[in-house]
Structure 1
């Protein structure tokens, strides 16, 4: 009998894919490894996902949902638009430390995609655009939001490359000046 806490087969596949795609990359993660580490039968995997791209897309959808939940929680901590924006940069610091500077799931995935994988690339672009809309809604200024989004995305990738929080701290100081 299944316990209520046991993850479904689909969720086990997604959890395993999330770990493997993030740690070793999408191209280096094979279906057979995914099946073995998730502890599922090949037929079960294909019952839930037709292709490896479908798994990647579902994984990114799940990560996007989790990310924007964290963003909402960070924004709720601020009492002014400026404080809300700065709280998102503080959340970014916590995220980068928690993942040992492995970086953004979406930035990592997009550089690993083949040019013909347009549906996933479009999803990633939509996720990143949504982040820009968060800043735009907080500030009610599209131009300023674009600048802050650029600082946010640049700090994210720069921190991954450097392996430290200096780019996020620098971007946060610039945002404080802009606001």
Structure 2
């Protein structure tokens, strides 16, 4: 089996994935990315016109990883309630794997400048996609209850990062479960 060398663009993106996620977007400098990826500065700018463009690619890659994991947690169940509750199990799992690092998109949102509109647009698109996921999964999205679940999910993610604890996720999951028991959904 032949081993294929990792191309400079892939090394740059892999390095950015690691550093932006661990250190943050603003804290991570282009020179550190170049050094750790083992590429020339010209190579970085050949593939990415700016740090913002690299940030956009980072968000796309994080989204692909995150969304694939979310779907693997939720696709096992056909029943709406189990599928929705599984989203909170996914948060618990990712908190454990990533040591309560929180949402990559909201972490970056807190760091971007007003003129970094490409990054803002990508973050908004991905959050809208998550809202749509809940609306598409729930039987009666016209009642806007899917937005209630989306907001509980987002708040649980943020608060678990703040407190470095699973209790916000567990509490949000219980609220959603209670809403199903009370027949607010369906």
Aligning the two structures, in what range does the TM-score lie when normalised by the shorter sequence? over 0.9
SS at match of 1:115: coil
Between 151-160 and 117-126, the greater mean CA deviation after superposition = 117-126
Aligned partners of 2:31 and 2:15: how far apart in 1? 12
2:62: which partner in 1? 63
1:43: which partner in 2? 42
5+ unaligned residues in a row in structure 2: which ranges?
181-186
Number of equivalent positions:
177
Whether 2:13 is the aligned partner of 1:14: answer yes
2:106: which partner in 1? 107
1:29-87 Cα offsets, whole Å, 9 max, x none, are 11111100111111111111110001000010111111111121111111301101111
2:3: which partner in 1? 3
Q: Could you state the TM-score of these two structures normalised by the residue count of structure 2?
A: 0.91
Structure 2 matches for 1:55-134, cutoff 5 A? Answer: 55-134=54-133
Q: Could you state the TM-score of these two structures normalised by the residue count of structure 1?
A: 0.95
- What displacement does 1:116 show? 1.2
Whether 2:178 is the aligned partner of 1:160: answer no
Aligned partners of 1:70 and 1:100: how far apart in 2? 16
5+ unaligned residues in a row in structure 1: which ranges?
none
- What displacement does 1:8 show? 2.1
Kept after mapping to 2: 8 A contact 1:96/1:102: yes
CA RMSD of aligned residues (A): 1.2
